[in-house]
Amino acid sequence: MERVLARDVASHVGQEVLVQGWLHKKRLLGGLNFIVVRDRSGLTQIVVDKDEEVEKLRGMQVGTVMSVQGKVVEEQRAPGGAELHGPVITVEVPVTDEPPVEIDKPLSHKPENLDTLFDNRHIGLRSPQEQKVFKIRAALLRRIRDFLYKNDFTEINTPKLLAGATEGGAEVFKTDYFGKEATLAQSPQLYKQMMVGAFERVFEIAPAFRAEPSATTRHMSEVYMLDIEMGFIKGHEEVLDMVQDLTYDAVTSVYKEFADELKSLQAPELVLKEKFPRYTVAQVHELYTKATGTDTTNEKDLIPDEERWICEHAKKEQGCEAVFVTNFPKEAMKFYHKLADDGTVLWADLLFRGLEIATCPMRENRHEVLVEQMKAAGLDPDHPGYKYFLEAMRYGLPAHGGCGYGIDRLVEKTIGLGNVKEAALFPRDINRLAP
């Protein structure tokens, strides 16, 4: 007999069907017994009446894998309006151990309970409520991919094992590589820029590894980055527009498609405009200092509280909780960034709901200028890690720019989670390497 999924049961009223899944809930009332079976599409309620069938359930814990054959009956009192009657149960994989967490109700996501949540992640993710987070994550990724394919980007995959730390900034993980030292890629930065010379427009969705000893709600040591790079751009604006449109498209479509799921996850109401407000770093410092009395005008970057504040500000004043912060000061620049005529960096951060989601700079594509910037940053242009990058530059890269975009952070903020780790299936942080 053909298997029927939970979501299709109601359309088989009157028919004998086979349902397969995991025992999700037992409610044994005596003469009348209910069990709920979970499959990839949802839950099916089954009424078990015969004693011999009820006996098969004795000692079987949540998670028991079973096949159930029964007749679909329309029943207003059943969830979904239909249920199985007269079932014949086959226990495929008996489970007699009590699961470590209860998956038939929402798991605790209170900060102090996240450790338990992640310790039991392999089982906790069986909770339909928990799965919603990752269905939404998958939909955001699908939407982003679709958008970039539509805009003629080529998806690429670059190596994650590298010869040395080249990019500067974040701490890198070192590992043994056949007797030599290798590092794990902290981003595909130099590779994606080199690939502009081949494909003009590229993107990659891949893990990046950060060895920062950061213990915060917004850091992990393995993160999923969306990296975009586009050549022949007219200017920095073109990069910002692309990132803005991509974000708007992904988030608004997910808010439509997953309205019920987002509601049950208590996601905040989306306040977004097609054009995100743009502020310079100096403007944010000024506005923040005026509003809070805390003087940040000498900070080179935004402090975390400014990131939160400016998003709230823009939400109230502009009706949009995503903003770009532009014109970062020269002191914060990296060697491959491009300077504007006014001496600030052609670099913008995308902030959404108080958190930096993406960083979107234009790149310096003039070989001589780049070499000078490397020297100024104390880097050796002859280092093997830069050789190929500089060659790509020398053999012709057009004006280009792109972004590094934190997928985990986007998922976290889209849903309104409190910690970026909740947006990862199996998060990695300073103390967690399992499961």
Given the structure tokens 């003039």, which residue do they identify? 366
Indicate the helix (H) or strand (E) that contains 98.
none
Nearer to RNA, 48 or 148 (CB): 48
Q: Is 312 in the site for RNA (CB under 7 A)?
A: no
30 touches RNA (CB under 7 A): yes
Nearer to RNA, 210 or 363 (CB): 210
Q: Which is nearer to RNA, 15 or 154 (CB)?
A: 15
Q: CB–CB of 244/324 below 8 Å? A: yes
Site membership for RNA, residue 83 (CB under 7 A): yes
Residue 417 engages RNA in binding (rule: CB under 7 A): no
Q: Does 295 bind RNA (CB under 7 A)?
A: no
431: number of Cβ within 10 Å:
8
Q: Which residues contact 419 (CB under 8 A, 6 or more apart)?
A: 111, 114, 217, 218, 412
Handedness of CA 134, 136, 142, 147 (dihedral sign): negative
| Nearest Cα to Cα of residue 422 among 106, 98, 150 | 106
Task: Please state the closest distance from residue 27 (CB atom) to RNA, in A.
Answer: 4
Positions of E strands within 238-374: 278-280, 322-326, 347-352, 355-361
Please select the residue that binds RNA; options are 11, 79, 122, 268, rule is CB under 7 A: 79
Least Cβ distance, residue 212 to RNA (angstroms): 4
Question: Cα–Cα distance between 185 and 329 in angstroms, integer?
Answer: 26
264 lies in the binding site for RNA (CB under 7 A):
no
Does 283 help bind RNA (rule: CB under 7 A)? no
Q: How many secondary structure helices (H) and strands (E) does the chain include?
A: 12, 16
User: Parallel, antiparallel, or unpaired for β 201-209 and 322-326?
Assistant: unpaired
Assess contact for 136 and 270: CB atoms under 8 A.
Answer: no
Stretch that binds RNA, among 207-215, 229-237, 367-375, 392-400 (CB under 7 A): 207-215
- Which residue, 20 or 64, has its beta carbon nearer to RNA? 64
Here's the x/- map for RNA, 368-407, by CB under 7 A: it reads as ------------------------------------x-x-
Question: Contact residues for RNA (CB under 7 A)?
Answer: 25-32, 34, 45, 47, 49, 58-59, 61-62, 75, 77-79, 83, 98, 100-102, 104-105, 108, 110-116, 120, 169-171, 210, 212-221, 223, 301, 303-305, 349, 356, 359, 404, 406, 408-409, 418-421, 430-432
